[in-house]
Amino acid sequence: MSEKENTLATKYDPKEVEDKWYKYWESHDLFKSVPDEREPYCIVIPPPNVTGVLHMGHMLNNTIQDILIRRARMEGKNALWVPGTDHASIATEAKVVKRLAEQGIRKRDLTRDEFLKHAWDWTHEHGGIILQQLRKLGASCDWSRTAFTMDETRSKSVLKVFVDLYDKGYIYRGLRMVNWDPKAQTALSNEEVIYREEKSHLYYLKYYVDGLQTLENEEQLRAEGNIIHKDEKGYYAVVATTRPETIMGDTAMCINPKDPKNQWLKGRKVIVPLVNRVINVIEDRYVEIEFGTGCLKVTPAHDPNDYVLGKTHNLETIDIFNADATISEQSPLYVGMDRMECRKVIVVDLKNAGLVEKIEDYDNKVGYSERNSDTAVEPRLCMQWFLKMKHFAEIALPCVKNDELKFHPAKYKNIYNVWLEGIQDWCISRQLWWGHRIPAYFLPTDDEDKEVYVVALNEEEALEKARKIPGYENIEASQLRHDEDALDTWFSSWLWPISLFDGINNPGNEEIKYYYPTNDLVTAPDIIFFWVARMIMAGYEYMGDMPFRNVYFTGVVRDKLGRKMSKSLGNSPDPLKLIEQFGADGVRMGLMLAAPAGNDILYDDSLCEQGRNFNNKIWNAFRLVKGWEVADVEQPEASRQAVLWFRHTLNDALATVKDHFSKFRLSDAMMNTRVLRHAAASAASVHAVHHRGAVAAPR
């Protein structure tokens, strides 16, 4: 071994290399991009929450983005990877509320401005953590372009789009049944509800028929298929429900008019158990004859289907839950009790009153808040802002159907199409203070049931618009009431590929023309509806083109037992400790060894160990080359053949790798580089055999 080779350590130490070179790259602006004559290649980062810290999903997602962006640089393209963070309304507000509570401060005791000061302090303190961690991972972002969904440029973009869509007639305000998160006390969109299978119970409750002492033609009715219940207290119908705590809000019982077993109940009234409210038996074909007993309790304030029935049959709506899901004063019983505790108590009381026919085990799907995973969502009737989605679905469907915008893997194409074809209006308002405040201003009115408002970018514009409304010509700014609600976080994220280049506020600027549409998006399939579809919609609405050409969907990182990695299971390693142990490149390669597009990754530390070992072999190959001395001697035929063979092998491998990249088969592409390394080692060994250390290394 030469003296030159001896100067290099025999074992690769990433700690001596990774931080040193990353600082060099960053200090010399080697990741920076500005428009020029080259072909652009652009990726926008899925903005991590400011509440977040690096986890294995981030590691996988950002490793893939880094592979794509670095390859584009090697191809001579003007490569730009734009970083940023998301303000995460629900999650961040929950963090701030929790910290204030630890200090003995309640949110409701603060003004909005006082609370927002705490929220900004928290954001400035924690918001940059994950971006620093991405640097440790080796992410080659243009950090000079770091954006935040609530910075000035993005905030102006969001408000401008809201006003524009309202003026176009796509945004409206209405009293609708929404998904309600009782912990965060805010509305959620349908996509923010995660349904879980749970072991539950089906409670069969007795609803006695009001005033019925004797049933004429009882035998004939039974012979016709009616199932008639009777005990010493009288005749009764049986209603099966999984939620006995909602009976206080019952305003009707419904049967299917075609149901033979319940014909005897037509035109009658029944008494709500414990509550003793007399309600009508109504008829509607919505009721499933085969479910339960065919008798449905109708609670219009607490079930979306019941709400529709209530509107159809002009039923009273009784809201028995407060915003925090405790029993409200509209209920005659259990006021102030938590809904789950109420369920336990009311079942005991119903049993003691002899009002329970039976209880069965039942597998039930329960909706939970996507942000507060321990909180069951409550259907709630309230005024909210909505975006009409039919128009946006129509403009976002063709590009994916026609493969102009490609999904990798393609299986997600059908999921996307089905969702858009059955899309519902998007509830875009949130009862939060942290976020983009809705640019709507309410005017005073004497009619409590009527809202008068204007939508404007600011108070000055709102006042100008208000004075054009008959009767409000002399209104003053002090009489305007700014809407208290904030916009759904995704209402800012859907503009991300446009707002990053200021395409909303400054349409047609040099950067938006150069970088848009971006090239590839790397994301998880669980936000295909939250984010991917909506970015496509916004792209066509405001740019007339798709926001990216390809979407690469990553899989879920699971442990070797197949369980999804999570803090609660304690099966997720600390990414920074993995980097400390194996080096960033070792960890990244380890993840990619088992990361085919769209398929889940069964992670094990041994993968990172393989990555580290591979890096060490590259290091030793480098040491070998650095140790060679070039001699001016005639090249032996064996060496010439070895070089020729390796050149052919290299060209074949490059063609294969290029093909894999075109199909986003990054794991396969990496496996080919390992094959190439073995070929290089074989060619080098031929040189070594014939030259014994004096190797002519032709270029």
What is the pLDDT at residue 569?
73
Give phi and psi for 197, each to the nearest 5.
Answer: -75, 130
Those residues whose C-beta lies under 8 Å from the C-beta of residue 156, and which sit 6 or more positions away, are 504, 505
Q: How far is CA 35 from CA 26, 39, 77, 511, in A?
A: 19, 9, 11, 7
Q: Where are the alpha helices (DSSP H) in 106-172?
A: 112-126, 129-137, 152-167
**Three-state secondary structure readout of 519-550:** CEEEECHHHHHHHHHHHHHHHHHHCCCCCCCE
Surface-to-core class of residue 70, CB atoms within 10 Å of its CB (0-12 exposed, 13-18 middle, 19+ buried): middle
Give phi and psi for 484, each to the nearest 5.
Answer: -80, -20
Low-confidence ranges of the chain (pLDDT < 70): 1-7, 567-568, 597-598, 673-699
Alpha-carbon span 161 to 420, nearest angstrom: 21
Angle between helices 637-662 and 666-691 (to 10 degrees): 170
- For the record, the structure tokens of 352 come out as 């003691």
Alpha-carbon span 223 to 211, nearest angstrom: 23
- For the record, the structure tokens of 412 come out as 């997600």
The alpha carbon of residue 627 and the mean position of all alpha carbons in its chain are separated, in whole angstroms, by 52
Cα 219–220–224 angle (5° rounding)? Answer: 120
The answer to whether residues 45 and 65 touch, using CB atoms and an 8 Å cutoff, is yes
44 forms beta bridges with 82
Q: Note the residue count of the chain.
A: 699
What is the pLDDT at residue 666?
87
248 forms beta bridges with none
Those residues whose C-beta lies under 8 Å from the C-beta of residue 629, and which sit 6 or more positions away, are 2, 4, 693, 694, 695
Give phi and psi for 553, each to the nearest 5.
Answer: -95, 120
Q: How far is CA 395 from CA 164, 271, 390, 427, in A?
A: 17, 51, 9, 20
Q: How far is CA 318 from CA 39, 315, 324, in A?
A: 62, 10, 16
What is the pLDDT at residue 699?
27
Q: Over the Cα atoms of the chain, what is R_g?
A: 32
Task: Tell me how far apart the 2 most distant CA atoms of the chain are, in Å.
Answer: 118
**Sign of the C-alpha dihedral, residues 497, 71, 605, 412?**
positive
**Sign of the C-alpha dihedral, residues 170, 172, 177, 179?**
positive
What is the pLDDT at residue 618?
87
Alpha-carbon span 699 to 693, nearest angstrom: 18
What is the pLDDT at residue 598?
67
Residue given tokens 């299978």 in the structure block: 197
Tens digits of per-residue pLDDT, 571-597? Answer: 888 999 999 999 999 999 998 888 776
